[in-house]
Amino acid sequence: MNKPLLVILAAVTLDAVGIGLVFPIMPALLRDVSHSGDVTLLYGFILAIYAAMQFLFSPILGLLSDRFGRRPVLLLSLAGAAVDYVMMALTPHLWVLVLGRGIAGITSANMAVATAYLSDISAEDERARRFGYMHACFGLGFILGPLLGGVLGDIWVRYPFLLAALLNAINFAFAYFVLPESRPGTRSTFKLGSLNPLASLGWAFKIKALLPFMAIYVAFNFIGQIYATIWTLFGEDRFGWSATMVGLSLGGFGVCLVACQALLVGPVTRWLGERGALFLGIAFEGTACLLLAFANQTWMVFVLLPLFALGAVGTPALQSLATRTVSEDQQGQLQGVLASLVSLTAILAPIFYTEIYFRTRESFSGTVWLICVGLFLACIPIIAQIGKRDVQKAV
């Protein structure tokens, strides 16, 4: 494994730890700052703010990395994240916390640049496997992040933010001293209008072969937002979980995800093909969502964690297929658009899920999980229509 690959995977891991630290304690922090007992809708709103900034800045960072190089854009975002987490750790004001989550959304848009970096240093036939490595490293971060966040959060709800700041500072130093540039920027001039995220989406919508992949990508990520939005609330309400237990459950998911992405993505893709991997992922995760809707004991959740992780086997295959629809000098822009689509779903999904959960938690709190099953079923005919013509190289 080459040095740049190791460095970028390590950076992704540290980034995931920093993000995962805050998941188990965010509802408790909002209760503390807002002095309110029920923060379900507020929680959805603050997640949407975070995602809105990702949506606006993911294509911008991706395009800037094409023009000026991946490394400077990554360094700037990591430095901003470290400062932001310190600010959120110390503030007693709700408005500062909301502002801080917005800034965190901007800095977290660097995942588009990291993905483009990985695409730069990988041959076409290696991308699915290496995207699997990246997701595995992100999962590894989610083993440590939520565990540490849950334990520290039960001591003091602010501690996870301080640790997240430290990890981002380490990540910055790591990238500054070790990470080489993967693709020198073109340094060509461009109009400010090209930084408009809607313009970037317009560019993507003109590529007909990319459209089915974008549709599936939106659906998968709309479903994926339920974990960050509802997992903590659902665990607290149905199972009486503490922050530590939330962290343990997310950490357990991370263990399963790492094993799946590191060991199974390559073999499954070779065995079933990329489209077959998508179908297999839907079968696993859809089944897990269906069973979780009716689970009534904590041990049942832990039994289902491997199924949830196996569901992610299709995502690297989807990303690999999508990269074949554009030219090499558009990979950063493509990854920015895909990250922007993730962020767009993350704006709408938290509001949607928290509203549904708020209205159904007393009657049947598993309703949101059944909605995810329906979305998975809707993806099946789209995947069935994908053929070789959809992955021909753009000229």
For 93, 113, 166, 394, the CA distances from 71, given in Å and listed in that order, are 34, 9, 20, 26
Identity of residue 164? A
Q: Give the Cα separation of 131 and 125 in Å (integer).
A: 11
Number of structural domains in the chain: 1
Q: What pLDDT sits at residue 364?
A: 93
| Sign, CA torsion 73/74/80/84 | positive
Q: Kindly report, residue by residue over 156-205, the tens digit of the pLDDT.
A: 888 888 888 888 888 788 788 887 777 766 555 555 555 565 666 677 77
Q: What pLDDT sits at residue 372?
A: 94
- In this structure, what token pair is assigned to residue 354? 């928290």
- Number of other residues whose CB lies within 10 A of the CB of residue 306: 18
Q: Which domain holds residue 159?
A: 3-177+205-391
- The 8-class DSSP code of residue 189 comes to -
Contact present, 144 and 245 (Cβ < 8 Å): no
140 falls within a domain: yes
Contact present, 305 and 256 (Cβ < 8 Å): yes
128 falls within a domain: yes
196 falls within a domain: no
Q: What is the CATH number of the domain that holds 381?
A: 1.20.1250.20
Nearest alpha carbon to residue 173 among 308, 82, 296: 82
186 falls within a domain: no
- Look at the pTM and tell me if it is higher than 0.75: no
219 falls within a domain: yes
200 falls within a domain: no
Nearest 5°: the CA angle 342, 208, 135 is 30
Q: Kindly report, residue by residue over 247-267, the tens digit of the pLDDT.
A: 888 888 878 877 887 778 778
- In this structure, what token pair is assigned to residue 12? 């992704």
Nearest alpha carbon to residue 61 among 346, 333, 320: 333
Mean pLDDT per 10-residue segment, the chain (395 residues): 74 76 79 79 81 76 78 84 83 84 76 79 77 76 80 84 85 82 63 60 74 86 87 90 85 80 79 85 94 95 91 79 72 71 80 90 92 93 68 41
Contact present, 29 and 336 (Cβ < 8 Å): no
DSSP 90-128: H---HHHHHHHHHHHHHHHTHHHHHHHHHHHTS-GGGHH
Q: What pLDDT sits at residue 109?
A: 64
Identity of residue 250? L
